[in-house]
């Protein structure tokens, strides 16, 4: 009986951890879904998250306020996504290349400023982290209660954001407009939709949500910042978007899947199997590739994804 | 007057880059005068500086050539970093597990193995892209992280030097070392390998049918298919060559610099190679020039770190900005150029 109890407890905590690991991927994935649906492929998502993580950490560290941290996290993400928008909408530069360049830019900028501010210290500077909010009554439900209703505010926001995104994308005219612009910008422009404005708005959404995703790493999961703290999470979020087919709940489930691999990875590392820890660290990346293989043949990419729209061109 | 415009644009880019560097350095409260002095001293101040630029340019040329071949074929290979590590793994396996061989043969086997393993690491994403349309950007990046962790596992298990507690392989035999070209500096024979590869890639890409077909697929897939050029075959071929060249960069780093496999042998060469290919406009000569330029930037930045304490990550900021400015220059600078009456 006791044996079954511990196994159950293990599974429950693992699931709760998976949800937390899924938060940054889901938030960034939701933002990217908006962007990609309007036809803009932003590979700079890694840079957006990194910038969000850095600026949220700095703001929270200096002011000791999580709310200020969250706001600056959004700002950090916006900074990168706005440069991406300007470069690809105004200068018509290849969106993928802009994204690659921005990842460099963001990695360099955050590392430089972090090093410049803190210097070479042996102590890791810490920022305040959010605490779980126990929802009364609901959290008392055995097993499920602890997993779903004893989480931090970001987790609840993630679920809220999924619902709101779903309503916007599937139940409003503007959501349909986004899809139209992603499928055929020329036709959308002809019937009077503002392609550039819509794409700028989706870029703003992408920047804010991606920045929040990054902020979650510093303000909730870790409580500190280090060079390249995202270590590929932005790219994994791109996979989550493909696998979830840019549907908010699809993104959520895909993120949970990869999140579970990550949560499992940490558990396995501490189990003491004698294997080098790198065996486990690569697990989420391997799972991501395998997961990507499942999306084969089910492509639902918007027709104009990644192609800059120039009004005068034919 | 096209050249005047190019020249002025380039000058504006250099000016903005320097200004941005100055702003960053001043905001972070470092000494800008010291920074400038140490930057240029690091690059031009000594024979050692020159050699160091060439040592760092070597893997950048090799990996940059690889990325440029992939880009020319429309295959966005972001995975040169992982492919480089696979090449490094290959030469280490040759050194540790194969019987002793005559020097020339030994290094040739290592180069071949490095090319193949690096190539395979790129062909998998290439195949997935060509056959199933799986985004190569994602797979190649994931393969980078996987390759780096494979190195971490290998240097702690199969390839571990049993006489040491630290995670690295035994030292490679002498026959697996490139000769030094400019004693006492670190300049090694890898540079000659890199330049030879540049010539070879130039001939293949510009003078043969193979190269022509690769470029057609990159330029217009549909036109290629219509004229009987297989998109599938060419993308797989491009990924093989591309990964192979990045693998050679790994071979060169082991045979010329480190002489043993350890973690972190590449300070992001595979990623910088992407910028090398972009700035070099996918042309071998351009790749060589931009590899040397970006290498000089790094050597200068290292000198700034030593002398003025400025973090080297400033180079990433500048590289990102240079690429953005270079790509967007025609539209960004159109106002300035008009005012200067340059058409």
Segment B8-59, tens digit of pLDDT: 888 999 999 999 999 999 998 899 999 999 999 999 988 999 999 999 999 9
Domains and CATH numbers, chain A: 11-294 (1.10.3470)
Assess contact for A80 and A48: CB atoms under 8 A: yes
Per-residue pLDDT band for B170 (boundaries 50, 70, 90) equals very high
Per-residue pLDDT band for B293 (boundaries 50, 70, 90) equals very high
A139 has a chain B CB within 8 A of its CB: no
Q: What percent of chain B has pLDDT over 90?
A: 73
Per-residue pLDDT band for A37 (boundaries 50, 70, 90) equals very high
pLDDT at residue B7 in the model: 86
Comparing CB atoms, the residue among A91, A279, A286 nearest residue B328 is A91
Where is average pLDDT lowest: A8-12, A41-45, A259-263? A8-12
Rounded-to-integer distance, Cα B259 and Cα B237, Å: 30
Residues of chain B positioned with their CB less than 8 A from the CB of A281: 149, 152
Residue A293: other Cβ atoms inside 10 A: 11
Rounded-to-integer distance, Cα B306 and Cα A90, Å: 40
pLDDT at residue A229 in the model: 92
The average pLDDT across B55-69 equals 97
The full 3-state SS of B294-318, as one line of letters, equals HHHHHHHHHHHHHHHCCCCCHHHHH
Pairing of strands A133-134, A150-151: antiparallel
ipTM of the complex: 0.89
Q: What percent of chain A has pLDDT over 70?
A: 98
Chain A, window 230-289: residues with a beta carbon less than 8 angstroms from a chain B beta carbon: 231-232, 235-236, 238-239, 242, 275-276, 278-279, 281-282, 285-286, 288-289
Q: Do B324 and A227 touch (CB under 8 A)?
A: no
Assess contact for A175 and A33: CB atoms under 8 A: no
The average pLDDT across B294-317 equals 93
Comparing CB atoms, the residue among B271, B311, B332 nearest residue A112 is B311
The average pLDDT across B175-190 equals 91
Q: How many residues does chain B have?
A: 343
Residues of chain A positioned with their CB less than 8 A from the CB of B27: 116
Residues of chain A positioned with their CB less than 8 A from the CB of B326: none
Kindly report the nearest CA distance between residue A107 and chain B, in angstroms.
Answer: 7
Q: Do A108 and B313 touch (CB under 8 A)?
A: yes
Where is average pLDDT lowest: A101-105, A131-135, B55-59, B317-321? A131-135
pLDDT at residue A311 in the model: 77
Residues of chain A positioned with their CB less than 8 A from the CB of B166: none
Residues of chain A positioned with their CB less than 8 A from the CB of B28: 112-113, 116-117
Greater confidence, B287 or A303?
A: B287
- CA-angle at B39, arms to B37 and B53, nearest 5°: 140
A48 has a chain B CB within 8 A of its CB: no
Greater confidence, A2 or A163?
A: A163
Per-residue pLDDT band for A314 (boundaries 50, 70, 90) equals low
Q: Do B134 and A91 touch (CB under 8 A)?
A: no
pLDDT at residue A2 in the model: 56
Average pLDDT, chain A: 89
B189 φ, ψ (degrees, to nearest 5): -65, -10
pLDDT at residue B342 in the model: 66
Per-residue pLDDT band for A141 (boundaries 50, 70, 90) equals confident
Q: What percent of chain B has pLDDT over 70?
A: 99
Q: Do B313 and A112 touch (CB under 8 A)?
A: yes
Question: Within 13 Å, how many C-alpha atoms sit on residue A127's CB side?
Answer: 31
Per-residue pLDDT band for B314 (boundaries 50, 70, 90) equals very high
Residues of chain B positioned with their CB less than 8 A from the CB of A103: 320
For B106, residues 6+ apart whose C-beta sits below 8 A from its C-beta are B94, B98, B100, B173, B175, B176
Rounded-to-integer distance, Cα A206 and Cα A47, Å: 12
Assess contact for A110 and A226: CB atoms under 8 A: no
For the entire predicted model, the pTM comes to: 0.91
Structure tokens at A180: 């139209």
pLDDT at residue A299 in the model: 65
pLDDT at residue A307 in the model: 81
Segment A147-206, tens digit of pLDDT: 777 788 899 999 999 999 999 999 999 999 999 999 999 999 998 899 999 999 999 999
**Does the structure show a pLDDT above 60 at A120?**
yes
Segment B237-258, tens digit of pLDDT: 999 999 999 999 999 999 999 9
Rounded-to-integer distance, Cα B240 and Cα B127, Å: 10
Chain B residue with CA closest to A277: the answer is B153
Segment B96-120, tens digit of pLDDT: 999 988 888 999 999 999 999 999 9
pLDDT at residue B6 in the model: 81
pLDDT at residue B180 in the model: 92
Structure tokens at B64: 């940059």
Comparing CB atoms, the residue among A90, A278, A282 nearest residue B331 is A90
Residues of chain A positioned with their CB less than 8 A from the CB of B278: 97
Q: Please measure the distance between the N-terminal and C-terminal CA atoms of chain B and give it in whole angstroms.
A: 7
- Selected for mutation to probe chain B from A230, A289, A300 (highest B CB count within 10 Å) is A289
Return the exposure string of B252-282: e unless at least 16 CB atoms fall within 10 Å of the residue's CB, then b.
bbbbbbbbbbbbebbebbbbbbbbbbbbbeb
Segment A76-98, tens digit of pLDDT: 999 999 999 999 988 888 898 89
A104 has a chain B CB within 8 A of its CB: yes
Instruction: Give the rounded distance of the alpha carbon of B74 from its chain centre.
Output: 18
**Does the structure show a pLDDT above 70 at B343?**
no
Comparing CB atoms, the residue among A91, A282, A299 nearest residue B145 is A282
């Amino acid at each position: 009986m006791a044996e079954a109890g511990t196994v159950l407890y293990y599974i429950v905590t693992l699931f709760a951890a998976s949800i937390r690991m899924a938060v940054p991927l889901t938030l960034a994935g939701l933002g990217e879904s908006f962007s990609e649906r309007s036809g803009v492929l932003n590979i700079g998502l890694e840079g957006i998250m990194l910038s969000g993580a850095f600026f949220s950490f700095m703001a929270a560290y200096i002011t000791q306020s999580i709310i200020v941290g969250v706001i600056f996290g959004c700002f950090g993400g916006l900074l990168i996504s706005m440069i991406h928008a300007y470069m690809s909408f105004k200068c018509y530069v290849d969106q993928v290349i802009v994204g690659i360049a921005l990842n460099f830019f963001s990695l360099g900028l955050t590392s430089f400023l972090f090093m410049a501010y803190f210097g070479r210290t042996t102590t890791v500077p810490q920022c305040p982290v959010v605490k779980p909010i126990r929802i009364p009554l609901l959290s008392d439900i055995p097993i499920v209660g602890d997993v779903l209703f004893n989480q931090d505010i970001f987790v609840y926001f993630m679920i809220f954001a999924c619902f709101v995104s779903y309503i916007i994308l599937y139940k409003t005219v503007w959501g349909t407009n986004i899809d139209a612009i992603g499928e055929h910008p020329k036709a959308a422009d002809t019937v009077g939709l503002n392609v550039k404005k819509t794409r700028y708005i989706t870029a703003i959404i992408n920047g804010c949500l991606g920045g929040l995703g990054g902020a979650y790493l510093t303000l909730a999961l870790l409580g500190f910042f280090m060079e390249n703290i995202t270590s590929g999470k932005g790219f994994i979020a791109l996979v989550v978007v493909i696998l979830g087919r840019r549907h908010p709940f699809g993104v959520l489930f895909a993120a949970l899947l990869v999140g579970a691999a990550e949560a499992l990875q940490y558990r396995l590392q501490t189990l003491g199997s004698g294997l080098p820890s790198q065996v486990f660290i690569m697990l989420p990346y391997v799972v991501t590739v395998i997961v990507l293989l499942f999306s084969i043949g089910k492509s639902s990419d918007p027709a104009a994804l990644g192609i800059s729209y120039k009004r005068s061109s034919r | 007057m096209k050249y005047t415009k190019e020249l002025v644009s380039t000058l504006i880019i250099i000016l903005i880059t320097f200004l941005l560097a100055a702003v960053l350095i001043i905001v972070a409260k470092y000494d800008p005068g010291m920074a400038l002095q140490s930057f240029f001293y690091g690059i031009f101040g000594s024979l050692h500086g020159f050699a160091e630029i060439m040592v760092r340019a070597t893997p950048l040329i090799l990996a940059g050539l690889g990325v440029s071949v992939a880009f020319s074929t429309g295959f966005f290979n972001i995975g040169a970093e992982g492919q480089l590590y696979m090449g490094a793994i290959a030469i280490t396996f040759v050194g540790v597990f194969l019987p002793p061989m005559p020097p020339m043969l030994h290094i040739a086997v290592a180069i071949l193995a490095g090319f193949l393993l690096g190539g395979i690491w790129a062909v998998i994403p290439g195949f997935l892209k060509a056959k199933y349309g799986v985004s190569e950007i994602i797979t190649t990046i994931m393969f980078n992280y996987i390759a780096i962790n494979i190195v971490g596992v290998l240097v702690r298990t199969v390839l571990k030097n049993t006489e040491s507690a630290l995670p690295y392989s035994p030292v490679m035999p002498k026959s697996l070392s490139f000769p030094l070209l400019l004693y006492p500096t670190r300049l090694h024979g890898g540079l000659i390998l890199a330049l030879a590869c540049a010539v070879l890639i130039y001939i293949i890409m510009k003078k043969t049918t193979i190269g022509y077909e690769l470029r057609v697929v990159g330029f217009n897939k549909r036109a290629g298919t219509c004229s009987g050029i297989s998109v599938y075959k060419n993308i797989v071929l491009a990924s093989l060559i591309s990964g192979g060249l990045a693998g050679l960069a790994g071979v060169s780093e082991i045979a010329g610099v480190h002489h043993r496999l350890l973690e972190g042998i590449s300070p992001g060469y595979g990623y910088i190679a992407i910028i090398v290919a972009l700035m070099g406009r996918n042309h071998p000569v351009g790749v060589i020039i931009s590899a040397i330029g970006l290498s000089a930037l790094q050597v200068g930045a290292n000198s700034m770190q030593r002398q003025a304490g400025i973090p080297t990550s400033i180079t990433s900021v500048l590289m990102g900005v240079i690429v953005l400015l270079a790509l967007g220059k025609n539209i960004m600078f159109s106002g300035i150029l008009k005012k200067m009456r340059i058409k």
